Each structure stands twice: as C-alpha cells, then as structure tokens.
Amino acid sequence: MSRTIKRGPPPRRAVQKKRPKASLGDRIIARLPVSHDTLRRAVTWTVLGIGGAVAIGAATWIGIPGTVGAAIAESAGRAGLRIEQVDITGLKRMDRETVYAIALEDQPSRAMLRLDLTAVRERLLAYGWVADAYVSRRLPDRLLIHIVERQPAAIWQNDGQLTLIDATGKLLAPIDRDAMPDLPLVIGPGADRQEAAYQKLLAVAPALKPRVRAATWVGNRRWDLTFASGEVLSLPQEGAATALVKFARMNGEKPLLGKGWLKFDLRDPTKMVARKPGTDMNHAVPDDGSGAAIPEKTATEQVDDVVRATDV
C-alpha cells in the first residue's frame, strides 16, 4: 500500500535590506576628531553668532536705536555668547594682566557681540610696547589676542630719567639705573626722536659701532659720541656721516681709541683737534643737552698733546 507524503513549501530565505549609502558629508563628519554633539553645538553657536551680528548690523543700518542692538547682544550673551576666556599670545616683555585690562577696558558687559574688535585693537596699539595687534572671536566664549611687541633699540636719558626706546624712538618703558640692559645710550632733549637717524649714522662705520657707549644730542643739531674707552668725538652738524667715516679710517690706520686721548673734534671739516688731559682732569658726560663742551683745561691741568691734522 503506497503512502503519499505531502511536502510543504520550501523555506523562505531572509532578504537583507540594503542600507542606504552614506553621503559624502556624513563620511567627512565621521572622520572628524570631534563628536557629533560637539560639532552640532559648534554649528549652532556659529549660526547664532552670525545671526546676532547680522541682526545688530541691520538694526543699526535701518536706524533702530543702539539700545535695541545692545539688548539683542545681551540676550545672546545670556544664551551663552559671552566672554569666558581671553587667550593672549606673542608676549615677551609685556605683562599679561596689562593686555587683559586694556582689551576689556570700559567694556559694559561680557556679551561677546557687544565687544568692538576694532576699538580693542586701537586701544592696544596706543600702548608703547605694542607694534601690532590681532583680535578675533572664537565662538561661543573665547576672545583671541595676538601681540607683536616692539624691540628695544636704545636707552634715552633725559633730565636724569632713563627710558627704553625702539629703533623709531617710540617710548617703551622706564627703567632703573641699576638694571640697565646692554643697549646704546642716547642723551639729551630730542635724542629719542633722532634714534632712527642715529642708527643710520652708526651704520656707516660698523667697526666703531660696538665701541660707542653713549651719544649726546647737542643743541638739537649734532652728536657727541662717547666711546667705551672714554674718548668723546664731536661730529659736525652737516656731514656727520662723512666725518665719522674719516675718523674710522684714521683709527684703523693708526689706533687713536684707548691711547689716553680725551677728545677728538671734527666740527671743522678741514682738520681734527685731539687733546689729552693732565692727571687732575675730571672727565664727565653731560646729559642736559645744553651743548656745553666738556672742559678741556682747568687751573691744574696741563695739556699734554695737541694734534692738529689738516685735510683729514
């Protein structure tokens, strides 16, 4: 007796649904070294900041009172757009607290959108040490300041006061006599404004430049150079560079500095007068800018040598 076996339908295979292919933007975001939530917050704050700035700008353009724009900025500040951190870079000699105080001087609040970046930069540029300044926001709560400092080039002595100046004569900061840096000393009223011209003058005689200890601006018209070995060289009002080159040449051919001379005078273009002091001669460098000559004779002084070289 035959038996009929009924077979059911074959089992269905599970069909895997194809996942939609990730877009280029999603793939780029997935590779970023920040979480999706962090990126979303950053985008939100950026949009909010741009929107707030546009709103304030539009309010100003159509003539809505400034209090309305300020109210918008304050609202954004309460929402999180407020200065919580100030990052300052580029400082070498300036004090960080000074920069911080200048940047936020007279700031009515910490609302980020109320901060006038141009005004902050102008206040910083008014400070002696600052050659340039870059100010920017990093939303939602960081203010970035980068300072380019001026470089000290000399010390200006006037009325007994010592002040650091840069190569343009810009006043940087007062300094203590007991803590003077190793920089050239320029002396007398107006000498600070002559710093650029003074550096140009020294550049024509590079062999003498490191031997100059101080320079006195005499009568607001000419220089007296004092060398580290004690001698004073009086230069003329006109043709100072030419006279300095001639002196450098003479000193190179037959050393004059460090040989006991007191003063060399090149104010007359046709000759140089050089003098040596006696044993009782006191040598002093004037700093009053009056142009008074250093005494070349006293009652107890005997002039040892007078050298007159014509056509130097």
Give the integer Cα–Cα distance in Å for 99 and 102: 5
**For 35-149, CATH number?**
3.10.20.310
* Confidence check: pLDDT of 62 > 50: no
| Digit-coded pLDDT (tens) for 195-234 | 999 999 999 999 999 999 999 999 999 999 999 999 999 9
Helix, strand, or coil here: 126?
coil
Q: DSSP characters for 139-155?
A: TTTEEEEEEEEPPEEEE
pLDDT reading at 155 higher than 70: yes
- CATH code for the domain defined by 152-310: 3.40.50.11690
| pLDDT computed for residue 210 by the predictor | 93
* Segments of the chain assigned E as strands: 85-89, 130-138, 142-149, 152-158, 161-166, 171-174, 185-187, 212-218, 222-227, 232-234, 263-265, 271-275, 306-310
- 293 contacts: CB under 8 Å, gap ≥ 6: none
Token reading at 253: 């051919």
Banded pLDDT at 7 (limits 50, 70, 90): low
Q: pLDDT for 17-27, tens place per residue?
A: 555 555 554 55
Please report which confidence band the pLDDT of residue 3 belongs to, taking 50, 70 and 90 as the band edges: low
Q: Mind listing the pLDDT tens digit for each residue in 259-306? A: 989 999 999 988 888 888 764 443 333 344 343 444 443 322 323 333
- Give the pLDDT band of residue 78 (cuts 50, 70, 90): very low
Return the domain boundaries, the chain: 35-149, 152-310
95-138 pLDDT, tens digit per residue, is 899 898 888 887 666 677 777 888 889 999 999 899 999 998 88
DSSP annotation of 40 reads H
Alpha-carbon 195 to chain mean position: 16
CA distance 298 to 121: 58
